[in-house]
């Protein structure tokens, strides 16, 4: 069993008129050479549906140098209609993302919840101002 110390939030970097299901991301990642396809463990769709990606026991491919000990969670969106980084989460996504993070926090109580940009400042992803603050109540005590 892997030791999980991070839950990393991502966005799929698509505009409001574009979609990004696990199946679509799997294709994109395979096209980029990802051996096991979709690099995220979960994808939260705009309608709030949570899709399972990689199984949690399998190392993800979502955050260089941090995959071995993390779970990757991606929300559909992250770009506004002009293609600029923006927090585009719908109310349904926010509710489902919180629900998923609550489940993961119970499963991995010592894991810190961070945004991709917290680990790689060159990234705008997940386009959420302060992930740690937003989910302060789910951080390790």
User: Catalytic site residue 10?
Assistant: yes
Indicate which residue of 40, 42, 108, 135 is catalytic.
40
DSSP H or E stretch at residue 97: helix 91-107
User: Catalytic site residue 116?
Assistant: yes
Pick the closest to residue 46 from 113, 115, 92, 105 (CA basis).
Answer: 92
7-35 in b/e form (b: 16+ CB < 10 A) is bbbbbbbbeeeeebbbebbbeebeeeebe
CA distance 68 to 91: 31
For 83, other C-beta atoms within 10 Å of its C-beta total: 10
Indicate which residue of 29, 62, 105, 116 is catalytic.
116
User: Catalytic site residue 40?
Assistant: yes
User: Catalytic site residue 66?
Assistant: no
Indicate which residue of 11, 63, 74, 125 is catalytic.
125
User: Catalytic site residue 123?
Assistant: yes
Indicate which residue of 66, 69, 94, 123 is catalytic.
123
Indicate which residue of 10, 41, 105, 117 is catalytic.
10
**Which residues are identified as catalytic?**
10, 40, 116, 123, 125
């Amino acid at each position: 069993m892997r030791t999980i110390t991070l839950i990393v939030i991502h966005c799929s970097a698509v505009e409001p008129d574009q979609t990004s299901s696990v199946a679509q991301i799997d294709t994109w990642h395979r096209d980029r050479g990802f051996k096991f396809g979709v690099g995220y463990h979960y994808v939260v769709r705009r309608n709030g549906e949570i899709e399972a990606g990689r199984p949690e026991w399998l190392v993800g491919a979502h955050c260089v140098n941090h995959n071995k000990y993390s779970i990757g969670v991606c929300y559909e969106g992250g770009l506004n209609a002009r293609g600029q980084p923006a927090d585009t989460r719908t109310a349904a996504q926010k509710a489902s993302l919180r629900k998923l993070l609550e489940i993961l926090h119970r499963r991995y109580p010592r894991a810190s919840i961070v945004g991709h940009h917290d680990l790689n400042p060159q990234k705008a992803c997940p386009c959420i101002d302060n992930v740690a603050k937003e989910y302060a109540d789910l951080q390790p005590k």
